[in-house]
């Protein structure tokens, strides 16, 4: 994402983070619904991101199309989104979607359930990453969006929090060609970022004990200057050691990784 688009996205996320009151859930749903409409209507998406139209004209168009009777908080975020600059028109859809998720996470935090929702989303992302049949089902073009949302609800049942179900169902229904496992992880990262912390995805052959987790968490916190939440995945293929992935950074200290490096050096 370009610097301009990144700045535009951050502005929207700050607005979503600041939401309070009884209408936050409605605001979240309005933003996700708007993202759906704009994604499906290419002509509308182009109009709302047309640099030849003034920002106020684009905002006025959005208000007319989506209804002035919507919560003022939703209209404010929607207006800011279409007034902002995006390198690609598709980024407007992604940004509204992320703002909708963050609004949901703001509500979850106000109800003291954000930890639960965040963990449930990440665990589902891990299930998707490790299940090829589930990936095929979620990306099957013959399956409707409703069917994919239903699949998520059937898998999670009544065990997951309602906010988790709503977010994951929306993600499953709107993959837009993106990698399934990565999309779900990105949503978990959005929840973590709500509290200005990062998620570190660990791949290990044997689970870490409490002392090791504390030592690793403290070391990563010093490096990134933010609290770090560790998500551990047992993967015997790493053979030993540990791989740490934080956003786009990867620290590969696994035996399998060292063997790959050795083979590359020999081959080179």
| pLDDT at residue number 21 | 85
Question: In the predicted model, is pLDDT for residue 244 greater than 80?
Answer: yes
Residue located via tokens 């409703």? 146
| pLDDT at residue number 265 | 65
Q: How far is CA 198 from CA 14, 19, 188, 248, in A?
A: 17, 22, 10, 12
Domain edges within the chain: 1-111, 112-194, 198-267
Taking Cα atoms as reference points, which of 268, 249, 219, 193 lies closest to residue 13?
193
Tokens of 138: 């979620």
Q: Residue 250 region, left (φ>0) first, then alpha (ψ -120 to 50), else beta?
A: beta
Beta strands in the chain (DSSP E): 198-204, 228-234, 242-246, 249-252
Quick one: average pLDDT of 146-168? 93
| pLDDT at residue number 42 | 93
| pLDDT at residue number 37 | 94
Distance CA 267, CA 71 (A): 62
Taking Cα atoms as reference points, which of 131, 124, 134, 235 lies closest to residue 188?
124
35-52 pLDDT, tens per residue? 999 999 999 999 999 999
Q: Which residues pair with 202 in a beta bridge?
A: 232, 244
- The CATH number for 112-194, chosen from 1.10.357, 1.10.520, 1.10.3470, 1.10.238, is 1.10.520
Report residue 83 CA to chain centroid gap.
Answer: 23
Q: Residue 239, Cβ neighbours under 10 Å: how many?
A: 13
Each as own residue / partner, the long-range contacts of residues 173-181 (CB below 8 Å, 24 or more positions apart, any chain) are 173/145, 173/146, 173/148, 173/149, 174/35, 174/36, 174/39, 174/97, 174/145, 175/138, 175/139, 176/39, 176/93, 180/128, 180/129, 180/134, 180/135, 180/138, 180/139, 181/125, 181/128, 181/129, 181/135
Quick one: average pLDDT of 147-155? 94
Q: Are 42 and 176 in contact (CB under 8 A)?
A: no
Distance CA 2, CA 95 (A): 13
Longest dimension (CA), the chain: 67
Strand order in the sheet with 242-246: 228-234, 198-204, 242-246, 249-252
249-258 pLDDT, tens per residue? 888 877 666 6
The pTM score is: 0.79
| pLDDT at residue number 130 | 85
Taking Cα atoms as reference points, which of 197, 203, 250 lies closest to residue 228?
197
| pLDDT at residue number 264 | 62
Q: Comparing 227 with 261, which gets the higher pLDDT?
A: 227
Q: Comparing 267 with 224, which gets the higher pLDDT?
A: 224
């Amino acid at each position: 994402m370009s610097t301009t688009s990144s700045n535009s996205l951050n502005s929207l996320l700050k607005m979503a983070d600041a939401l309070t009151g009884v209408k936050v859930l409605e605001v979240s749903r309005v933003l996700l619904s708007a993202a759906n409409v704009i994604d499906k209507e290419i002509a509308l998406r182009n109009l709302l991101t047309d640099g030849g139209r003034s920002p106020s004209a684009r905002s006025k168009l959005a208000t007319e199309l989506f209804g002035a009777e919507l919560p003022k908080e939703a209209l404010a975020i929607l207006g800011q989104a279409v007034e902002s600059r995006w390198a690609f028109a598709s980024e407007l859809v992604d940004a509204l979607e992320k703002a909708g998720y963050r609004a949901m996470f703001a509500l979850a935090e106000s109800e003291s359930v954000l930890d639960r929702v965040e963990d449930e989303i990440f665990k589902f992302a891990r299930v998707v990453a490790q299940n090829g049949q589930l990936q095929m089902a979620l990306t099957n073009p013959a399956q409707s969006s409703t069917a994919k949302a239903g699949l998520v609800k059937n898998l999670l049942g009544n065990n997951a929090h309602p906010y988790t179900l709503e977010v994951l169902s929306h993600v499953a229904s709107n993959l837009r060609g993106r990698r399934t496992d990565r999309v779900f992880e990105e949503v978990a990262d959005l929840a973590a970022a709500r509290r200005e912390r990062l998620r570190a995805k660990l791949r290990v052959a044997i689970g870490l004990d409490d002392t090791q987790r504390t030592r690793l968490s403290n070391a990563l916190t010093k490096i990134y200057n933010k609290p770090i939440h560790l998500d551990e995945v047992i993967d015997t293929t790493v053979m030993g050691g540990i791989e740490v992935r934080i956003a786009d950074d990867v620290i590969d200290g696994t035996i399998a990784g060292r063997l790959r490096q050795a083979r590359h050096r020999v081959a080179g």
